[in-house]
A and B are shown apart, each in its own frame.
Chain A
């Protein structure tokens, strides 16, 4: 609403101010260039999903094909398979992994000997820092049917071996088992912090009221974790499609691919290995768009539940 006369000197002072703070802009510049080159150029590159991209003709010279790749993908049986695999893995993760750190944190919280507690924590945090290659390698060493520890044991007990590494039936339990083994310990950190901030007076009041240990756990400790649990649950729903690429890539092979393939690994195999750039970009774009919808939905949900939103 300002008149031109007022606006003019203001604009000048804005430039003057920016000039005075030139160091700030110089400092922000390298990072900004990074974001523009490595994050925003590829966003523009997503346009090849609507082309028959040819590396020789480039983004500007390739033929436009509209939604052809998307139509092909949605009518392809691969689509339902990927959706199913992703959904089942995410659901398993939610049901079997998500509660694990909460339970472990509650159990750790009941330990009164602080030395013992710290020692246990030190051990269970270790796998979090290991790469997926290490975890997958250890899994191969233990689970292989040719002399792996687990199968030697099974042969002794049951008289037969189980081919965990290439059996489609065992793929999902194996993936979830690895996640539980790698991340449960570390996952307790955030819950233990929440537990440490519980007001001790609440416990004392509960004791005065005659509450036993399990009732205190139910009525004081668990409610203290509620908001942390809700926030993490919402975040997880926002990232529902993000099954760990590295882990799944490492554990999948030609024998279990029917259940192992998820969107990310499919994009890798079809795009990088087979060179179908446009088609695989379309698949990736579909996943990104669904991802945004989920995150924005999760954010709305968080606000509705009075958690203040994710951003």
Chain B
């Protein structure tokens, strides 16, 4: 920390700087607070008060309503399933592919690496990929949400670079001990890669949780919609309700707060993991800025 030569101008700047940054932080967070507050507020309060952070009376009607219908629970289930299965598949594919590519002596390594790099420059695009997914029979299957983007080539390259920078002596030593390459990878390399594994697990998990576009493209069957697509239809496509008509008669659907409650439900998992996300994503940015 360098010594401050604080002039009056400097102090005035500091004062306004602190205030300004506080305002930036508030502007960032307040919309979320309003959404949460509104989801617990009554319909009349939402209709009459234009903005509030603390509802006058707290009601869980909106949540009781959305959890009394099938669609939100089903969509949450799909999202959770896709996030877990997708992240596992992506991590297995990424790690097992990155390790061999990190071995400079492997014959054919450059061909495969160039194949990967070229796919980052040029892609067939939306329609040819759609035709492929369709001809694989994956339309209306949740595999369509996972397989087409299972490996993120940027992540692959960063993990490869990480493996490459682990001391080569470790490989030699385990080779002398009679380990196969897979055993070396499994017993020596992976335990050393825990921070990287954590970072990219979170990268993939956030991607799978947040994505709605794959579902929009490939899923016509509304019972397989992940929560993001359900939310989009609910908020942005006019007159789309949730739940079946028979179920809706149980409660008077509090329309506005239901929208807010679904936003909250779709956000909560991200907020639960936020401390980890903040830490590991920052690491990922740093890893990514080191070129391989």
Contact = CB atoms under 8 A, between A and B. Distances in A.
B228 A28 contact: no
Nearest to B6: A213
Interface in A20-78: 21, 23-28, 30-32, 34-35, 37-46, 48, 55
B197 interface: no
A212 B274 contact: no
Interface string B97-116: 10111010011100010011
Contacts of B107: 14, 17-18, 21
B7 A212 contact: yes
A138 interface: yes
Interface residues of A, number: 92
Interface in B15-70: 17-18, 20-22, 24-25, 27-29, 31-32, 34-35, 38, 46-47, 50-51
Interface stretch (A80-88, A91-99, A105-113): A105-113
Nearest to A287: B125
Nearest to B117: A311
A48 B17 contact: no
Interface centre among B20, B108, B123 (most CB of A within 10 A): B123
A32 B123 CA distance: 16
A277 B236 contact: no
B200 interface: no
A133 B121 contact: no
Given A48-B131, A111-B18, A152-B50, A131 B228 contact: yes
A44 B131 CA distance: 11
A222 interface: no
A193 B25 CA distance: 20
Nearest to B27: A181
Contacts of A133: 210, 212, 228-229, 231-232, 266
Interface size class of B (residues with CB under 8 A): 35 or more
B163 to A, nearest CB: 12
Interface stretch (A1-9, A168-176, A244-252): A244-252
Interface of B: 1-5, 7, 9-10, 13-14, 17-18, 20-22, 24-25, 27-29, 31-32, 34-35, 38, 46-47, 50-51, 92-94, 96-97, 99-101, 103, 106-108, 112, 115-117, 119, 121-132, 147-151, 156, 180-182, 185, 206, 209-213, 216-217, 228-229, 231-232, 235-236, 256, 259-260, 263, 266-267, 270-271, 274, 277-278, 281-282, 285-286, 289, 291
18 contacts: A24-B99, A34-B147, A35-B115, A41-B124, A42-B125, A44-B128, A46-B128, A107-B21, A111-B21, A119-B25, A123-B28, A130-B267, A131-B212, A132-B210, A133-B232, A149-B51, A153-B50, A288-B122
Which 9 A-B pairs have CB atoms at the shortest separation, nearest pair first?
A42-B124, A31-B97, A45-B128, A131-B210, A284-B125, A152-B50, A23-B181, A42-B128, A123-B25
Given A27-B185, A48-B128, A127-B28, 16 more contacts: A24-B99, A28-B100, A35-B115, A35-B119, A44-B128, A108-B21, A122-B278, A129-B206, A129-B274, A136-B232, A138-B32, A141-B35, A152-B51, A249-B213, A272-B127, A292-B121
